[in-house]
Amino acid sequence: MKLLQATNISHKFDYPLFEGVSLSLHSKDSVAVVGVSGSGKSTLLHILSTLLKPQKGKVELFGYDVYYNDKDKLPSIRRYDVGIVFQSHYLFKGFSAKENIQVAALLSKQEIDPKLIEAFGIERVIDKKVTELSGGEQQRVSIARVLTKKPKLLFADEPTGNLDKKTANEVMDVVFDYLSLGNALFLVTHDLELAKRCERVYALEERKLKLLKRGS
């Protein structure tokens, strides 16, 4: 089943980031995008994940044209079907790790999965305030928070940037397991080894997505 189809996306700020970019994601699919800093990876992730309307082109999620004809579907798609791990976490700072995860569970009408908390090794810090957590702990809480929503489409922007290799692999094992339920992943990373765990790897360069690798 096709979960995402982006067609002929173009976007520029002070300079063009990409032109005529197309991409699709099916159930159980995973795509990684690598590229130099400033090439537009996060911007592309924001466009594909309902947060930024592209200057040109169409984004269809679950068959819905989310920026134009089916705009009315956006609130529900954002709340239930799309999960985003941001490059800068965006955890609620005054709250504990647990409260952050509880908010996501509440909003998406899901239950907190204790196995997820355990798999991410955050039980020990679950009652601490976000400001009392290390960068890597914050990163793991933010991924646990997003997975708690059980989104069909998971977008992750440099999700393991603050983690050592072993912890990064453990966290990503959970994420890849999650895809086997029929969900899909769009990953942005500077870590080529991690990127290669995805079905397809693209480099964002010269304003295009260039396929580096297909099949895992």
Ligand X SMILES: Nc1ncnc2c1ncn2[C@@H]1O[C@H](COP(=O)(O)OP(=O)(O)OP(=O)(O)O)[C@@H](O)[C@H]1O
**Residues interacting with ligand X, by CB under 6 A?**
13, 17, 35, 37-43, 87
Q: How many C-alpha atoms does 168 have within 13 Å on its Cβ side?
A: 18
Structure tokens at 152: 């069909």
Among ligand X, Mg ion, none, the one that 35 touches (CB under a kind-dependent 5 to 8 A) is ligand X
Nearer to ligand X, 45 or 125 (CB): 45
Beta carbon nearer to ligand X, 112 or 212? 212
- Give the HSE-up count for residue 126: Cα atoms under 13 Å, Cβ half-sphere: 17
Report the site for Mg ion in 88-127 (rule: CB under 5 A).
none
| Least spacing, CB of residue 161 vs ligand X, in Å | 9
What does 151 bind: Mg ion, ligand X, none (CB cut-off 5 to 8 Å by kind)? none
Sign of CA dihedral 64, 176, 83, 152: positive
Q: In what order do the strands lie in the sheet with 208-214?
A: 82-85, 153-157, 184-188, 30-34, 200-205, 208-214
DSSP string, 70-109: TGGGHHHIIIIIEEEE-TT----TTSBHHHHHHHHHHHTT
Residue 52 Cβ vs Mg ion, minimum distance, rounded to whole Å: 13
Stretch of 9-17, 37-45, 125-133, 148-156 contacting Mg ion, by CB under 5 A: 37-45
Tell how strand 16-26 and strand 30-34 pair up.
unpaired
**Least distance in angstroms from the C-beta of 43 to ligand X:** 3
- Which of 5, 30, 39, 42 lies at the binding interface for Mg ion (CB under 5 A)? 42
**Angstrom distance (rounded) from CA 83 to CA 156:** 8
Q: How far is the CB of 27 from ligand X (least distance, A)?
A: 26
Residue number with the smallest Cβ distance to Mg ion: 42
Please report, as ranges, the residues that interact with Mg ion according to CB under 5 A.
42
